[in-house]
Structures are given as C-alpha cells and as structure tokens.
Amino acid sequence: MLSTTGHIFSLQISRGGVPKLPIRTAVVSELGLDGDKQRDRRHHGGPERALCLFSLEEIVKLQAEGHPIFPGSTGENVTVAGMDWAALDLGACLQLGDDVLIQISSYTVPCSNIADSFQDGEFKRISQKLHPGESRLYARVLRGGTLLVGQPVRLVEAPPLARPDNELLRY
C-alpha cells in the first residue's frame, strides 16, 4: 500500500551553496525558508523553486550504495520520511505541518555542485530521467507558515487557490 503520509525528518538552510545545514524550525514564504539563500538564482530559488524536497528513504538507499550523501548535502530544504516518494507526481500538493501547503512544480536537475555527495562524483544518480522516482523535487508555496522538524506531511487534493498575481494555478 502506498503511503500518502509521512513527517518532516529535517529542515535545512544555507547562505548559498551546499551543504544546507539543519535547523529545527523555519518560517516559509512564497520564496522558501526564511534565511535560505541560493548562490545561483538562475537555476535555483524563486517562486517556482521555492522549496527543494528529498526523501530520507532515498538518502538511506543511496548511502547503502556507498554514496556519502546526507540530509541537506544535495541542497534540499525539507527532508521527508515515510512517504512513497516515487508516487509523487508534478502538480501533487502536500500539507507540511499545520500551516504550509505546497505544490510539486518540477523535478530537480542534479548538477556538479552536489558531486561530493556521490561516490566517484556520480551526481546524476538522482536524475529523474535516469532514475525515475529517485529525484529531489522542487515546489511552489501555495500557503506559507511555520514548520517544525517532526511535523506531519500528507498528500492532499489540489485546492483551487489563486496565485499572488490572481491567475489560477495550472495543473
């Protein structure tokens, strides 16, 4: 049976680049976690890539393969445990904690900046094209709020929310 619920295992931020380092609580806005910075704004950050998420189970699987990956080492802000990661599709909505609602906007394309997290620098090991269902995910924030490590994460039906510019989201 597919798990549509899980919990926040860890939250991570950085002043730019990787690894992102753990924090216990975070305020989330339409641009992501307060205090988190991206060195390359052309490829990272912004409203459509406000949060980067990854699965704890995928990280553990990669560690078992010999990769020195850990939560935050590949730039993810939110590490989720207990969900069927491969079942999350583009457009899926997740409720994080009590306040935050996000929508998966794209798969995250791995780049050489995360090579240190992989044996022999094989950063493409988490490419959606090469390993479907094993990629990090980018998300837009539909409703901000406060997050705490340990809070629940659940798959929810996509609501008919308006974007900040009042355009309806396109699924």
Considering only residues 130 and 47, tell me which one the structure prediction assigns the higher pLDDT.
130
Instruction: State residue 16's pLDDT score.
Output: 87
User: 125 by DSSP, 3-state: which?
Assistant: helix
Q: Which amino acid is at 152?
A: P
Residues 6+ apart with CB under 8 A from 58: 85, 126, 134
Residue 170 lies in a domain: no
Mean pLDDT value across residues 135-159: 96
Mean pLDDT value across residues 103-119: 96
Residue 112 lies in a domain: yes
Residue 161 lies in a domain: no
Considering only residues 44 and 4, tell me which one the structure prediction assigns the higher pLDDT.
4
Considering only residues 158 and 22, tell me which one the structure prediction assigns the higher pLDDT.
22
Name the token pair of 116.
Answer: 């240190």
Residue 163 lies in a domain: no
Residue 30 lies in a domain: yes
Above 50 in pLDDT, residue 169? no
Q: What is the DSSP string of 99-112?
A: TEEEEEEEEPPP-G
CATH code for position 36? 2.40.33.20
Residue 86 lies in a domain: yes
What residues are paired with 25 via a beta bridge? Answer: 148
Residue 18 lies in a domain: yes
Instruction: State residue 161's pLDDT score.
Output: 55
Task: Give per-residue pLDDT as tens, 65-96.
Answer: 999 999 999 999 999 999 999 989 999 999 99
Domain that holds residue 14: 5-41+49-156
Mean pLDDT value across residues 121-136: 97
Domain count along the chain: 1
Q: Are 18 and 3 in contact (CB under 8 A)?
A: no
Residue 118 lies in a domain: yes
